[in-house]
């Protein structure tokens, strides 16, 4: 099993941990998630097609110059992961929720309006098994899209087992969605789309939150992989591996930027 990393845009990455598996299309045909992502992609069966996944920090889903229902089909993707949607539940209208040919999933920030938020649009050809918006797996209030099974000792592993407020905070900013799809090998594939927090290192509390969130993301993915799932992480991690990966020069680069 190999891991692959592909830079899809400034601040957006996809991390793959999967073999050549196929997503059923209406449970009759197949879609290959391996095509284009592996150096040794196997030949596709006659009924298989590649799944195209796109991740985009949209910086406000309602701020586009064209209606989103017109933009989405033009992207040519089967799965579209959005970060920084900056929309609350009561701001959603039919033009965002009911896009012809797609099913939509949203996670909302519950502590601050017009902040953070992620969404996933899946082609009608794909049939998710379940969806959740909690990395800790603790479920959520009525406005969550669903809970995810508790990960073994995740809250203790990120240092907030004895801090209920810290546990709630990790899942309160609408920063992730987990969506599972059936695969031809029976293991299932979990897509995790995330908008990881940003933080000024001088803000100790926020920096701790950022590092805790990154650790939680890694541990959640590890738990899923150990349970036999294929995993894709797609989104804005709010990190740059090296200076060359950033659009700014060393002189202009702030310690930390963005709304994160």
Residue 57 marked as a ligand binder: yes
**Beta partners for 180?**
130, 190
CA distances from 117 to 77, 129, 132, 228 (A): 20, 22, 14, 28
Question: What is d(CA 11, CA 8) in angstroms, rounded to the nearest whole number?
Answer: 8
Question: What is d(CA 207, CA 200) in angstroms, rounded to the nearest whole number?
Answer: 7
Question: What is d(CA 254, CA 199) in angstroms, rounded to the nearest whole number?
Answer: 11
Query: Which residue shows structure tokens 């702030």?
Result: 254
CB 83 within 8 A of CB 57: yes
Contacts of 76 (CB under 8 A, 6+ apart): 52
User: Could you tell me which of 32, 35, 37 has the C-alpha nearest to residue 16?
Assistant: 37
CA distances from 215 to 21, 36, 70, 138 (A): 27, 29, 37, 17
Question: What is d(CA 229, CA 1) in angstroms, rounded to the nearest whole number?
Answer: 12
**Beta partners for 30?**
24, 48
Binding site feature residues: 57, 84, 236, 238
Binding site feature residues for Mg(2+): 57, 84, 236, 238
């Amino acid at each position: 099993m190999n891991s692959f990393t592909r830079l899809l845009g400034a601040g957006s990455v996809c991390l793959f941990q999967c073999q050549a598996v196929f997503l059923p299309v209406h449970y009759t045909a197949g879609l290959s998630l391996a095509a284009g992502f592996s150096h040794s992609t196997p030949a596709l069966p006659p009924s298989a097609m590649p799944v195209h996944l796109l991740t985009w920090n949209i910086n406000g889903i309602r701020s586009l110059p064209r209606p989103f229902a017109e933009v989405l089909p033009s992207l040519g993707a089967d799965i579209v992961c959005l970060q920084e949607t900056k929309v609350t539940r009561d701001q959603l209208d039919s033009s965002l929720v009911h896009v012809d040919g797609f099913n939509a999933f949203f996670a909302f920030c519950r502590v601050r309006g017009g902040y953070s938020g992620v969404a996933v649009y899946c082609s009608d050809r794909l049939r998710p098994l379940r969806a959740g918006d909690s990395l800790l797996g603790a479920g959520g209030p009525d406005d969550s899209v669903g809970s995810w099974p508790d990960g073994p000792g995740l809250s203790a592993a990120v240092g907030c087992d004895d801090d209920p407020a810290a546990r709630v905070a990790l899942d309160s900013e609408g920063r992730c969605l987990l969506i599972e799809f059936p695969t031809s090998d029976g293991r299932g594939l979990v897509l995790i789309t995330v908008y990881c927090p940003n933080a000024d290192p001088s803000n100790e509390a926020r920096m701790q939150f950022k590092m805790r969130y990154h650790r939680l993301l890694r541990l959640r993915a590890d738990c899923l992989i150990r349970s036999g799932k294929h995993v894709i992480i797609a989104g804005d991690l709010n990190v740059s591996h090296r200076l060359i990966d950033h659009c700014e020069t060393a002189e202009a680069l702030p310690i930390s930027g963005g709304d994160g």
